[in-house]
Amino acid sequence: MNWADCPAVERDPQRLSGVWLFRGTRVPVAALFQNLHDDVSLSEFMELFPGVTTEQARLVLEHAARSAAGSTDVVRIP
């Protein structure tokens, strides 16, 4: 998955070993997927990681859905 195309994330080799982070935070993108895998709801995730905005989470999920579908079409997450 090419996270470079997602405006909600950033990568800096000097921060957290260069993993993809939610832009402006120290929260790894992988934390969202791990929490969802562990049955944590999106609203609970937002409470656990208050630096991540709802818009950022939505953009990351939409990007992941497009990548999984192998498409550049817009996928909207409600």
> What are the pLDDT digits (tens) for 5-50?
999 999 999 888 899 999 999 999 999 999 999 999 999 999 999 9
**Domain at 3-69, CATH class:** mainly alpha
pLDDT (average), residues 62-76:
75
* AA identity, residue 27: V
DSSP-assigned states of every residue in 36-76: HHTT--HHHHHHH-TTS-HHHHHHHHHHHHHHHHT--S---
Look at residue 70 in the predicted model and tell me its pLDDT: 76
pLDDT of 72 over the 70 cut? no
pTM for this prediction: 0.84
Question: What are the domain boundaries of the chain?
Answer: 3-69
Identify the pLDDT of residue 76: 58
pLDDT at 45: 97
Could you give the 3-state DSSP secondary structure of residue 24? coil
DSSP 67: H
